[in-house]
Structure formats: structure tokens, C-alpha cells
Amino acid sequence: MTASGASELPAPMQAWLAVLTHEQRAAPLTVSAYRRDLLQLAELSRGRPLEAVSPHDIRRYVARLHGQGLSGRTIARQLSCWRGFFAWWARTGAVGANPVVGIRPPKSAKGLPQALSPDQAVALLDAPQGAANDPFALRDRAMFELFYSSGLRLTELASLDIGPALNLRDAEVTVTGKRSKARTVPVGTQAREALAAWLQERARHARADEPALFVNTRGARIAPRSIQQRLALWAQRSGLGVHVHPHMLRHSFASHLLQSSGDLRAVQELLGHESIATTQIYTHLDFQHLAKVYDAAHPRAKRKP
């Protein structure tokens, strides 16, 4: 079995992915990630009927994955997928107890999300890019300004359409996040100016029937992977010396906003987090920033040699 597509998954797994896609309206990237996790489970359980998989089997699979070097976080994500699949399958009456219930991933060190410093963010976005007549440099600048200005997820930005969702007059944009939940977030001045410049240029490149705000050189909606590649190239050309990915701009947005305002609830709402616990990771980033300031400025912060 290979990971080439859903057709190679057992029928119950295909059925669950169909439910996620058509009934629960899960994001395409989420469905794709679940497909990979289900393929992993199918590989691990090869030779054993899925309905016969036991908690003991799941523990063996977890030990094998951990032995292959997978992190606790990655295994936790896979267990979450498997747990969801078996829970759905049990509700259909095809299997009994969920074998993944109570199975925990191995512990791994918690890493903080990577964020740029405010100076790095400014240097990245202000860096001159491309030829003066390159229309897609205007597109890239608009995308990256919007990432940092409004804290969007990659899929949220890629799925934006022209129309009422983008309201430059009132400086706000409405996006559809996880679990198909919509939220409206503000758009900063620099991002508004970059978006206005791109909108003037977009009409020359987008197909007549293409609703996407950001299009590729063929006039169709730009893919998330292409956005990642363009941002990495932009950061490289800026001379920042740091690999930058879209989620880093979202992390930077959250961290810098929290440093300035201290309002965790507001940051939670702007990011679209369901739980405040998810947003609290940025308090650790904020503390790191404060600790550096303390170490550099306080006369009693460091021991004298």
C-alpha cells in the first residue's frame, strides 16, 4: 500500500473521509492530513482486519512509530485521527469499543512556536522585491502584509475571494477558519495599501470566472504550497537569514500584539482559537521577550564576574 490516494484506503476509512469532507466541511488540508494518518494506520495493521485492532495493537503501533523517530506531537496527532475514525465507525455499529481510547502518545519536549522579532518583521515586509514591473511582487507583498497584519492561517488566506469578505473601506476581512467558523479581523494600513495595489493589477491576470483574491501566473487560485514557497524566497532575498513560513507570520502577529496590549482574550478572538489554552502559548513568547529586556537592562540581572 502506498500513500498515493484515498482509493487505496480500506472502505471504512474512505467513508469517514467522505463524511469529514461533505458533511462536516473539514478543510482540505485537514482531510489530506487525516488521509496520511489513516494510511499509516492501514500500513501498521496490514494483515490484521481493522475491526480486530485492539488497544494492545495500538500501543505496539505507537511504540514502532516512536522508535522510528516520530515526535510525541506527531504521534498525538495521528492518535487523534485514529480515535476519531474508530469513534465514527463504532457509531455505525460496525465495531465495538474504540481501541484508541485511553492511549497516550510518548511525551516530548514542548517547543514554543517560532516568531520573528518586530524589527525582523518590519525588515522582511519592507524589503524591496522583484523587478519594478513585476506584478506578482505586488501580489506577494499583499499576501505577506495581510498574514502579519491580521494573523491569518495559510488556508484562510489562500481561500479568500474578491467581494464583500474583503472590506478595505472599513479595514477588515472576513475569513472562514477551522470547523467552518467565520471571523472578521482588522486589516492594517500597510496591508490595505498593498492589497489596493494588487487589486488594481489583479484584473490583468485573473481569469474572467476566477473569484480568488490571490491568483497564480495562470490566472487561477494560488495554491497554499506556492504561497509557502514564495514567502521562503521573499525571506531569502530580504537577507533576513531566517527561514520564514506562513505560520511564523501568524505567530509573530499574535506575539507582537500580546506584547503591546497584554489582552489575551482579544488575541484569542483575532486568532480564532476556540480555547484560551491554545492562545496561552503566546504568553510564554511574551515572557521570553520580557526576560531578554530584563537581562539586558536590569543592573542586578546578571552576576558580576
DSSP-assigned states of every residue in 104-167: -PPP-PPPPPP---HHHHHHHHHS--S-TT-HHHHHHHHHHHHHHHHT--HHHHHT-BSSTTEE
Q: Considering only CA atoms, which of 125, 127, 142 is closest in space to residue 214?
A: 142
Annotation says 139 is catalytic = no
Q: Is position 192 annotated as part of the catalytic site?
A: no
Contact 149, 188 (CB under 8 A): yes
Strand, helix or coil for residue 182: strand
Instruction: Mark whether 247 is an active-site residue.
Output: yes
Using CA atoms of 135, 127, 288, 284 in order, give the dihedral in degrees to the nearest 10: 0
Numbered ranges of CATH 1.10.150 in the chain: 6-91
What integer pLDDT is reported at residue 108 of this predicted model? Answer: 65
- Residues 218-275: tens digit of each pLDDT: 999 999 999 999 999 999 988 888 899 998 898 888 888 877 776 777 777 787 776 6
Which stretches in the chain have pLDDT values below 70? 1-7, 108-113, 130-133, 262, 274-305
Catalytic residue among 73, 77, 83, 178: 178
Return the CATH class of domain 6-91.
Answer: mainly alpha
- What is the structure's pLDDT at 278? 60
pLDDT of residue 4: 37
Count CB neighbours of 233 within 10 A. Answer: 14
Q: Is there a catalytic annotation at residue 178? A: yes
The backbone torsions φ and ψ at residue 161, rounded to the nearest 5 degrees and listed phi first, read -115, 160
pLDDT of residue 61: 94
Name the active-site residue from 230, 250, 251, 256. 250
pLDDT score recorded for residue 276: 62
Class of domain 118-294: mainly alpha
For the record, the C-alpha cell of 196 comes out as: 489596493
Assess whether 273 carries a catalytic annotation: yes
Q: What is the pLDDT of residue 159?
A: 94
Q: Start-end ranges of CATH 1.10.443.10 in the chain?
A: 118-294
* Helix H or strand E segment including 184: strand 182-186
Catalytic residue among 35, 139, 153, 256: 153
Q: Which of 66, 183, 247, 289 is catalytic?
A: 247
Indicate yes or no: pTM above 0.85: no
